[in-house]
Chain A
Amino acid sequence: MFALRQWWNQHALRTALIALAIATAWAVRETGASPIYEVYRWVTSPLHPGASRRDVLASSYTQELQQQIVELESQNRSLRQLLDAPRAETGASIPAAVIGRSAGEWWQQIVISRGSNAGVQVGYVVEGPGGLVGRVIAVSPSSSRVLLISDRTSRVGARVSRSRATGYVRGRMGQQVIMEFFDKMPEVREGDVVVTSSYSQLFPQDRVIGRVVSLDLSKSPAPEVTIELTAPLDILEWVEVVPFEPSEAPEDAPPAVLDSGDGLTP
Chain B
Amino acid sequence: MTATVTTSLNKLKRYRWLNVAITLGSVWGCMMLLPVRPPGMELLGVGPSWLLIWVVAWSINRNVVDGAIAGLILGFLQDAMTGPYPTHAIGLVIVGMLTARIQKQRFIQEDFVSISMIVFGMAVVAQTAMALQITAQRLIQVGVSYPQLPEIWLQHQRIALSSAILSSLWAPALYYPLNRWWRHYTRVVAPPGNTP
Contact = CB atoms under 8 A, between A and B. Distances in A.
Given A36-B31, A104-B81, A18 B134 contact: no
A265 B144 CA distance: 8
Nearest to B24: A21
Contacts of B47: 101, 105
A29 B79 contact: yes
Contacts of A265: 143-144
A104 B78 contact: yes
Interface stretch (B33-41, B53-61, B113-121): B33-41
B73 A22 contact: yes
A57 interface: no
A211 interface: no
Interface string A12-51: 0000001001100110111111001101100110010000
Contacts of B35: 40, 99-103, 111
A30 B134 CA distance: 20
A28 B76 contact: yes
A107 B83 contact: yes
A102 B83 CA distance: 10
Nearest to A19: B69
A103 B82 contact: yes
A103 B163 CA distance: 12
B46 A105 contact: yes
A100 B37 CA distance: 7
Contact of A172 (B74, B77, B151): B151
5 contacts: A28-B80, A29-B80, A103-B35, A106-B82, A259-B143
**Which are the 7 A-B pairs with shortest beta-carbon distances?**
A100-B35, A25-B76, A104-B82, A103-B81, A103-B34, A33-B80, A29-B76
Given A107-B82, A265-B143, A266-B83, 7 more contacts: A31-B80, A36-B77, A40-B35, A105-B130, A106-B130, A106-B159, A152-B147
Interface of A: 18, 21-22, 25-26, 28-33, 36-37, 39-40, 43-44, 47, 99-107, 109, 111, 137, 152, 170, 172-174, 234, 259-260, 265-266
